[in-house]
Chain A
Amino acid sequence: MLEVLKQIATNTQEAGSPVAVMFGTVTKVSPIEVLVDQRLSLSNDGVSDPSLQTLILTEKVRSLAVNDSVVLLRVQGGQQFVVIDKVV
């Protein structure tokens, strides 16, 4: 019973897509595309308004190259991802 409750609680949490740190690999530049865990392909839709972009870049990661590893932060709700920095 306790295990079931824990499982339900975890699933409920996960369903809300809370903020999470993720790693990804750059697969394409301009427009930039990042692949997370070989399953989730994120791309910057080329929209100028940052609140509508899926992939939000910061000043630090202006110049990314293909195959760069990056650290991403998933925004609550899981519809947007902020690229924080390059992993070296």
Chain B
Amino acid sequence: MLEVMIDNKDGNVWDISDLVSSFQWKTGRIGKASSAELQFVKGGIYENKSFRYSNGDILRVKKDGFGVFYGYIFSIDTGKDEQVKITAYDQLRYLMSNDTYVFKNVTATQVIQRIAGDFGLKVGALADTGHKIPSMIEDSKKLMDIVCKALDLTLIATTRNYVFYDDFGALRLRNINEMAVEFVVGDGSLLYDYEFKRSIDSDTHNRVKLVRDNKESGKRDVYIAQDSANIARWGRLQLYETVDEKANAAQINEMLNNLLKLKNREQKSLRLSAIGDIRVRAGCYVPVIIQEISINQYFLIDECTHTIEGADHTMALELKVI
């Protein structure tokens, strides 16, 4: 059962669960507020005269008692007929404005706490990222970009990946290792369609060429790594890059190998359409089993869209394939 409430912030809370014809909830893993789109019917015979909905009102959605969405109305679309469409975003929407910050020796967690404090956002449980970022000077930058950058720097330094999101009205930061869901999506379980794309069209290279201008000898040093077997298969797809003069041969060779390892493969993307389970959101780890394309592993969800129309609940998942 979907429970939809609109809080006018003036003491009135309206339960519009029975009016809602469709509900869509979108979550993204990085730097995005989750959004809820709601369609309902206005002007019913029994509609209370004082029933109102305005921008800024709180929209709260629960499903079977599970808190799904808690956010604020940002746009209202309506016309002559009785359909009304409301779009709401969670607290993260308020991180889309710019400000200036100078951080020294702080963790990503502290960055979030500081910004949330300054902008009056409600904070829930934040994981301690542990890694101290030496310095971050952000001059008139988007707050969301500042947070994402702090998390990026943490990821690069510690290889720990965190997901920052709004959990039913409170900001949360969680390590992705804790975000595994306890059910499988795949053959015979929830899945009803998938789109699997394998491509060498973009960002696939089987030959890497790095050059460095050598001031001392006045020449260009060239470093090449390639996979001949793959070149025979796909033709030669070269990646050409200039490297920093200061890098030494060992560093360049390491970079060369890393790049080849990373790029010398098909780029894969996987989209699933499945029966909905409201506990799934972007940032979750979900086990996927699809025999036809021999997939049996955990995937990180990049984007997740839940659609509820009447009794039908489906979800579309965009997965990150590494």
Contact = CB atoms under 8 A, between A and B. Distances in A.
Interface of A: 14-15, 17, 36, 39-42, 45, 52, 54, 74, 78-79
A79 B145 CA distance: 15
Most A C-beta atoms less than 10 A away, residue of B100, B104, B134, B137: B137
B135 A79 contact: yes
B111 to A, nearest CB: 15
A42 B140 contact: no
A15 B141 contact: yes
Interface size class of B (residues with CB under 8 A): 10 to 19
Interface string B87-118: 00000000000001010100000000000000
B139 A78 contact: yes
Contacts, number: 28
Interface in B136-152: 136-142, 145
A6 B100 CA distance: 23
Contact of B102 (A15, A42, A52): A42
Contact of A78 (B134, B137, B142): B137
A72 B216 CA distance: 32
Contacts of B100: 39-40
A45 B135 contact: yes
Contacts of A54: 135, 137
A64 B142 CA distance: 33
Nearest to A51: B246
- Interface pairs A-B: 5 shortest CB-CB: A39-B100, A40-B100, A40-B139, A79-B137, A78-B139
Contacts of A41: 102
Nearest to A11: B142
A15 B142 contact: yes
Contacts of B136: 79
B139 A15 contact: no
A54 B136 CA distance: 9
